[in-house]
Amino acid sequence: MKDTPAGSKVVDEWPRLAEMRRAGDVDGLIRELDNPRSEETGSGRSFTVRQRAVVLLGKLREPRAAEPIEPLLKDSVPSVRALAAWALGRIGLESSAEAVIAALDDSDLDVRRHAASSLGQLKARTAVPRLLALLEDDDPWTRVAAAKSLAKIGDPSALEPLRAAARRESLRRPALRFRLSRAYFALRAHPRVS
């Protein structure tokens, strides 16, 4: 048993869930997503199990897990929402794009970053306007996630905004400028653009 930050005891469910993954028990992992939410914010077994089940389903890349994961984009626990966005990107079903696009409005920075990154994995062309807007985000790594996704999607309308975003970065942030420039050149080389 472990102590959670709130002090309640939880059984470490990781070995049981990992065994479900090894056995390919996708249905069992999907059932774990419905663990009752605890009344406390993020503490207790339900938080741990939901979070770990989402990670394992994302690693399995099982398409039928996408629909049950989508509601977790609105979970009360930010890390569960972020992992749900990550998992949906790994699963790669374009039908999840609208739910992931909605997660770009989340109040949590990690959720927005994971959502921006996942939209590139989903090749969600409908997300291009929202990703272009994220090139202006206050968080530099959200800007990078949006830039990388734009490069993966391959929409030619993102070329000039990506170039402008890379130019805006000051010399004080060479790593950020480098990543944005790299996304720009990746987009230029994309088959839809070149």
120-176 pLDDT, tens digit each? 999 999 999 999 999 999 999 999 999 999 999 999 999 999 999 999 887 778 899
Note the helical H segments in the chain.
14-22, 26-32, 45-60, 66-69, 78-91, 97-102, 109-121, 128-134, 140-153, 159-168, 174-189
Contacts of 91 (CB under 8 A, 6+ apart): 57, 58, 61, 62, 63, 65, 66, 69
Compute φ and ψ for 50, nearest 5 degrees: -60, -45
CATH architecture for segment(s) 2-122: Alpha Horseshoe (1.25)
pLDDT of residue 71: 96
Q: Do residues 117 and 148 make contact, with C-beta atoms less than 8 angstroms apart?
A: yes
pLDDT of residue 3: 35
Q: What are the domain boundaries of the chain?
A: 2-122, 136-194
Are 187 and 193 within 8 A, CB to CB? Answer: yes
Give tens-digit pLDDT for 8-17: 334 567 788 8
The pLDDT value recorded for residue 37 is: 52
For the segment 188-192, the average pLDDT, to the nearest whole number, is 91
Q: pLDDT tens digits for 27-76? A: 999 999 886 654 444 444 577 888 999 999 999 999 999 999 999 999 99
Query: What does the pLDDT look like over 66-119, one tens digit per residue?
Result: 999 999 999 999 999 999 999 999 999 999 999 999 999 999 999 999 999 999
With contact defined as beta carbons under 8 Å apart, do 79 and 45 qualify? no
